[in-house]
Amino acid sequence: MFQIRCPYCGPRDEPEFKYGGQAHVAYPADPEALSDEEWARFLFFRDNARGRYAERWNHAAGCRRWFNVIRDTGTHEMVGSYQVGEQPLDAR
């Protein structure tokens, strides 16, 4: 079980949180201009790297706010967490 540091509430156990997948996936600026291939990439393709990964978590049983975490998907090391709108701790 992870201990995840909510930037608003501090460190809490993983069952308080919901996972939100890859962070910093921007909605397309001009959706109607996208080709089918570009839409597919936006809808269905997410990074699946082994190593440091920027991901979203929601503190569902706490403050209910979304935030971002840098975590290593190979080792489960929690590198740090930060608020939505902030720059990633480890700009990948």
Partner 1 sequence: MDPNEHALHNAPFLWRTPEPKSTYGAVIVGGGLHGLATAYYLAKNHGMTDIAVVERGWIGNGNAVRNTTIIRSNYLWDESAAMYEHALKLWEGWTEELDYEILFSQRGVLNLAHNLHDVRESVRRVEANRLNGVDAEWLDADGVKEFCPIVDVSPDARYPVMGATLQRRGGIARHDAVIFALGRACDALGVDIIQGCEVTGIDVHDGRVTGLQTSKGPIAAGKVGLVAAGRTSLLTAMAGFDVPIQSHPLQALVSEVYEQVLNCVVMSNAVHVYVSQAHKGELVMGAGIDAFNSYAQRGGLHVIEEQMSAGMQLFPHFSRARLLRTWGGIVDVCPDASPIVGLTPVENLYVNCGWGTGGFKATPGSGYVMAHTIATGEPHALNRPFSLTRFETGELIDEHGAAAVAH
Binding mask 23-62 for partner 1 (x = CB under 8 A): -------------xx-xx--xxxx-xxx--x-x-------
Rounded to a whole number of angstroms, the minimum distance from the CB of residue 67 to partner 1 is: 14
Residues 6+ apart with CB under 8 A from 73: 49, 50, 51, 52, 53
Residues that bind partner 1 (CB under 8 A): 1-2, 13-15, 18-19, 21, 36-37, 39-40, 43-46, 48-50, 53, 55, 71, 73-76
